[in-house]
Amino acid sequence: VSRDHHPESSRVRVNGVVFGSDRAPVIIAGPCAVESRDQILDVAMRVADAGARMLRGGAFKPRTSPYSFQGLGERGLELLAEARERTGLRIVTEVVAPDDVELVAGYADMLQVGARNMQNFRLLQAVGERSTAVLLKRGLMSNIDEWLGAAEYVVAAGNPRVVLCERGIRTFETATRNTLDVSSIPVLRDRSHLPVIADPSHAAGRREWVPALSRAALAAGADGLVIEVHPDPENALSDGRQSLDLEGFRDLVVELRDIAGALGRPLADRPETSEADGLARRSASR
Amino acid sequence: VSRDHHPESSRVRVNGVVFGSDRAPVIIAGPCAVESRDQILDVAMRVADAGARMLRGGAFKPRTSPYSFQGLGERGLELLAEARERTGLRIVTEVVAPDDVELVAGYADMLQVGARNMQNFRLLQAVGERSTAVLLKRGLMSNIDEWLGAAEYVVAAGNPRVVLCERGIRTFETATRNTLDVSSIPVLRDRSHLPVIADPSHAAGRREWVPALSRAALAAGADGLVIEVHPDPENALSDGRQSLDLEGFRDLVVELRDIAGALGRPLADRPETSEADGLARRSASR
Amino acid sequence: VSRDHHPESSRVRVNGVVFGSDRAPVIIAGPCAVESRDQILDVAMRVADAGARMLRGGAFKPRTSPYSFQGLGERGLELLAEARERTGLRIVTEVVAPDDVELVAGYADMLQVGARNMQNFRLLQAVGERSTAVLLKRGLMSNIDEWLGAAEYVVAAGNPRVVLCERGIRTFETATRNTLDVSSIPVLRDRSHLPVIADPSHAAGRREWVPALSRAALAAGADGLVIEVHPDPENALSDGRQSLDLEGFRDLVVELRDIAGALGRPLADRPETSEADGLARRSASR
Amino acid sequence: VSRDHHPESSRVRVNGVVFGSDRAPVIIAGPCAVESRDQILDVAMRVADAGARMLRGGAFKPRTSPYSFQGLGERGLELLAEARERTGLRIVTEVVAPDDVELVAGYADMLQVGARNMQNFRLLQAVGERSTAVLLKRGLMSNIDEWLGAAEYVVAAGNPRVVLCERGIRTFETATRNTLDVSSIPVLRDRSHLPVIADPSHAAGRREWVPALSRAALAAGADGLVIEVHPDPENALSDGRQSLDLEGFRDLVVELRDIAGALGRPLADRPETSEADGLARRSASR
């Protein structure tokens, strides 16, 4: 994954959506967890209208306590696929164990390896043995070299389609949930040819700071953003405090369009309906 | 795992070796990785003579880079079992994936969940569904609440036999590999009824500091220590720099005996041969 | 300094340059240390041409080792004042001890309290007893509450003219010199009415990452930036590795103009010559 | 201060009390702040009886907020001197500004440079220009090299009588006030010839964990301990939560005697009364 051996920046294609340093930044939005059919379809249509290209939503949730909500499992994946059919949004969702990779890849366009699993080497191996694109989040405790080492596990196993995602590191500062290491974006740009995006929601932990961090990450050169959006954040089953509501997301995308334009990388529009339909059909037939 | 619901300290028994706050501290020693039959049998006999009660050694190694030595796998487990037969030492070794739990538990007396997997919840679930004792290492950047949350996953799945292991956290200080959070020992003693031990070798990263950290952890109240020992540290395949040689380990145990005595918790002697034989037979017949 | 007691954002005026959330971001540039007359006059004229409004440069340098270059002292202050006369740039320079405050304030338009002195309470008291504006850098390991506590010392002593400066915190990540905590900008915006700027140079530690961090800080809402610029970074007496050269700074300002425009806060132009002359006279007569 | 240039360990003598690696560990005890004559005399007599050799107590308090209790100033110093006359305990107290050094050194046997001032280079210079012994606490944010750099400032200014004091560093773990970096003790033993002691009270932040950390620091090789003791911790003006009461301190010293004995460095007894009287006279006549 080092730029030493691959000087040109890679592009990673996710069924028509392209991540890469000279391309439009990709906005990924959606709730922390898929909670119900109404919730996910509502949020999918609304974020697609606002300018998102991909939908996020957890079906398998790794939680600090065994007594917290753990996700809807396969039912959640089915709902994500239905949302894709209706909106054309591509789907990224987390996979937490090697045995689940095949199941999740049957529904998702992109597999997320979460921060807590960044050094779950068996899982990295398992997603590396497929061709589905991978979103590799940075571990809370991982330095940049270890993160690139984790990406190397995926690539070495045969899958070069890796996008890195900065999501904040753990520091002594507790005002924010984690500290968004915005510097990692230019550092990775120097060291690796892989695309890098940012997740300002998990870093901030509070929705009021998400817009500023989103703008900052984009200005630092991120190839995309993952933003938590929930139709009713106060009643979310997880992470409500850091989720934008639908109006907040819409307003943010307007700001991001201006900045992306000033950076010479205008935001992508939503996919054409025909393209979305084609994708939905293809994906349904897998 | 909270002391609120279980005021008395738990004891965790590992085929005759007992971890618990009023019992003798347990010394676990051995190499980072099982490298060969000669290496593991030699080190096992020598650490048993010096006063260790359990043998550590990795057969499945999680490594930062996919190109580093990854361990001998099942062959390593067989060698550990042979070392147990010869010495009576109980075996603790790491398991890195849910699918491996049955295999590893077929050889080991205690299953280690490593620092990088502390929040691999599927793995915690899998070791929680067995009765084999679990050594749960602290994540490099996990706080004490998250660590207890991970222990709760194991216990909630049905296995109460969990021993916690402090192994250093990641901080800004780079003189040591990690920073041994010796405070976690009394904090855990307050908050949890589970035994807690320490791994000074991974924290220090340099063998010359291992004795001081071993003494410190014991004096802070640790119920045991895990110490890396290698017959020829300069030529170890991994972690040589932090491994004591056999003589260094022997000298350290002498120091630890004095401190443990002063603390009113004299070190346990090695198991009786007959006990060891019995164990070996039992374990061979599994 | 809390917004609870002062809901409106403060503006801090520094002899015609204004810091405040609805005003143009202020670019401060210059070398780490004043090294010679040629160096400081050259860099002052060049950064003024490129769009800086203030000049930075250390005359008293706090250094980790007593054997490193400690600055030119009062001679450095005289050179800064001469640079102001020639360019109209206002001067900010560090003061490291209470006894020096009067001396430094005789030359400078703004007094910098450095990261290592953020909790040097006597120094805070001393700068608080004057009317000269204060640039209060965040300690490398100070949380936001402690930083605001330090600002409170200055304000409580009678001087409300405080500008906060995020300059990176110390974390486990060593790729960068420090980790720019870009989140502190929106957090401070919520909690305090004081202006906040950022110093991307000290955070990055490497010049190639300074532009990305500068853009990020501006996009996050910073009221200004402090950027190290040296005419010959390779031969700088301190911090050369993180200093932009003159061309690099000029290019960066062009990028920042675009982003500031997109954010609705276009960059300020340089002060009029007449204004600069008036200032130089006033300051010379103090 | 490097062992490279001075291979033998230094001893630092403080009017009859000796710090050094082959000498008995020195117990320093006392309240965070001198609050009243009754308080300081009471605590001094009681900690002397229990086995302390030196008395700590702040007269000038650096506090995070300007609205907190800032100490009794010179009146506090007078009370400390009176306590010395009555008990023979040597006095260590903090000095927070260069201008105060002469005043404080007129009363104290040892000058403490606090954690927040570890890189207040003017203060280091000022204490370096006197012959009074210096207790140099580690900055919360300072790595070992920077700490030794600060010690070098004192020694380079002419004063070789420096004792280092580990007091915990700032990490992500918030269960304790700071994280006692017990590893710094053996690391410093390798790198420097200066004595090193530990302050478990500030690290722990809670009195119930102070005994375990005290034992750990001693076992790691500390040349002494600084322990906060208050006759009525619940009503202390500062840091009450981390102060032992008098009985708790007495019990702890009993434990420490056992460990120090096991380490081959039995605790020092209190100074003879005649020695104390001589000291008091000498100090009064300065």
Do D60 and D114 form a contact (C-beta atoms < 8 A)?
A: no
What chain C residue is nearest to D123 in terms of C-alpha separation?
Answer: C97
CA–CA distance, D220 with D263 (Å, rounded to integer):
10
In the three-class reduction of DSSP (H, G, I as helix; E, B as strand; rest coil), residue C137 is classed as strand
Mean pLDDT of D112-135: 96
In the three-class reduction of DSSP (H, G, I as helix; E, B as strand; rest coil), residue C124 is classed as helix
pLDDT of residue D285 exceeding 70:
no
Summarised one tens digit per residue, pLDDT across range A180-189 is 999 999 999 9
- Other C-beta atoms closer than 10 Å to the C-beta of A196 total 26
| pLDDT lower than 70: segments of chain B | 268-286
Check D149 against C116: CB less than 8 A apart: no
Summarised one tens digit per residue, pLDDT across range A18-64 is 999 788 999 999 999 999 999 999 999 999 999 999 999 999 988 77
Summarised one tens digit per residue, pLDDT across range B118-147 is 999 999 999 999 999 999 999 998 999 999
Strand D26-30 versus strand D54-56 pairing type: parallel
pLDDT at C129: 96
- Look at residues D4, D32, D16, D53 and name the one whose alpha carbon lies nearest to residue D112: D32
- Interchain contact D175–A (C-beta under 8 A): no
| pLDDT lower than 50: segments of chain C | 271-286
Mean pLDDT rounded to a whole number for chain D = 91
Mean pLDDT of A249-254: 97
Mean pLDDT rounded to a whole number for chain A = 91
Q: Which residues of D touch B208 (CB under 8 A)?
A: 186, 190
Summarised one tens digit per residue, pLDDT across range C87-145 is 999 999 999 999 999 999 999 999 999 999 999 999 999 999 999 999 999 999 999 99
- Exposure pattern of B120-139 as b/e (b: 16+ CB <10 Å)? bbbbbbbbbebebbbbbbbb
The enclosing H or E element of B166 equals strand B162-166
Secondary structure (H, E, C), C227-246: EEECCCHHHCCCCHHHCECH
Shortest Cα–Cα distance, C172 to chain B (Å): 4
Give the pLDDT band of residue D284 (cuts 50, 70, 90): very low
**Helix, strand, coil share (%) of chain B residues, nearest 5:** 45, 15, 40
Which of C21, C142, C173 is the best residue to mutate to test the A interface, defined by the most A CB atoms within 10 Å of its own CB? C173
Residue B276 token pair? 């060891």
Do C54 and C28 form a contact (C-beta atoms < 8 A)?
A: yes
CA–CA distance, B189 with B186 (Å, rounded to integer):
5
In sequence order, which residues have a C-beta less than 8 Å from that of residue D281 and are 6 or more positions away? none
In sequence order, which residues have a C-beta less than 8 Å from that of residue C235 and are 6 or more positions away? none
Calculate what percentage of chain B has a pLDDT beyond 70.
Answer: 93
Mean pLDDT of D202-223: 97
What chain D residue is nearest to A173 in terms of C-alpha separation?
Answer: D172
Do C126 and C141 form a contact (C-beta atoms < 8 A)?
A: no
Q: Which residues of D touch A174 (CB under 8 A)?
A: 174
- Exposure pattern of B225-250 as b/e (b: 16+ CB <10 Å)? bbbbbbbebeebbbbbbbbbbbebbb
Residue that is written with structure tokens 């940075």 in the block: A138
CA B121 from chain center: how many Å? 20
CA–CA distance, C267 with C261 (Å, rounded to integer):
7
Give the pLDDT band of residue D277 (cuts 50, 70, 90): very low
What chain B residue is nearest to A152 in terms of C-alpha separation?
Answer: B66
Q: Which residues of B touch C171 (CB under 8 A)?
A: 172
Q: Which residues of B touch C169 (CB under 8 A)?
A: none
Residue D89 token pair? 């305990």
Residue D14 token pair? 């403080």
Do A113 and A127 form a contact (C-beta atoms < 8 A)?
A: yes
DSSP H helical ranges for chain B? 37-50, 74-87, 101-105, 121-128, 144-156, 184-191, 200-204, 210-220, 246-262, 273-284
